[in-house]
Amino acid sequence: MLYNCGARVSEVAGLTWGDLQLTAPRQVRLRGKGRKERLLPLWRETADALHRLRGMSLAADQQHVFVNRHGQPLTRDGIAYVLHKHAAAAARQRPALARKRITPHVLRHSCAVALLQSGTDVTVIRDYLGHSSIATTGRYLTVNLQMKREAMQAFWKQAGIEPAQARAWKPKPDLLAFLQSL
């Protein structure tokens, strides 16, 4: 849910079942800063997971989507705890994840970068994230190495320049010995 919508953790914490439409067109109404609302699409997988979650609900009158074991709405810290628990479990399968700091905000940032990489205009990303200013959105949109590589290749193609096919440099043993002696 956090990644699908690029939602703030506070928006997810306040989410009620009345904010969701889990059948086509699948969507969610999020309430952001300043009580601003935005309507976002939900992936089928997200809607299906939320539908299963609703089926697990013990209380028929439960309004909040994400609750703790006592039926109380999860707090921001509670959501971060659940995310941390699942990230740790995933790290057992993918050890590289153990070195990453995965927080709810990281999922929001990752959503913004994925939208940028897909070619989505920054003004659409601004609205998707619920920002009032493009300047705020710009902080999320760091260009990663793959995007830089693709931009360089597009430039080479447009300019008619072939990228150099240089072999990797390998230092000679005497140079390595010299450097180690320093």
Residues classed as catalytic:
8, 33, 105, 108, 131, 140
Residues 6+ apart with CB under 8 A from 3: 107, 108, 110, 111
- What are the tokens at 119? 């070619």
| Alpha carbons 30 and 154: distance in angstroms, whole number | 38
Q: Which conformational region is residue 132 in: left (phi greater than 0), alpha (psi within -120 to 50 degrees), or beta?
A: alpha
Measure CA 81 to chain center: 17
| Alpha carbons 121 and 138: distance in angstroms, whole number | 12
Residues 6+ apart with CB under 8 A from 121: none
Token pair 């970068």 is found at 113
Going from the C-alpha of 132 to that of each of 17, 37, 64, the distances in angstroms are: 26, 12, 27
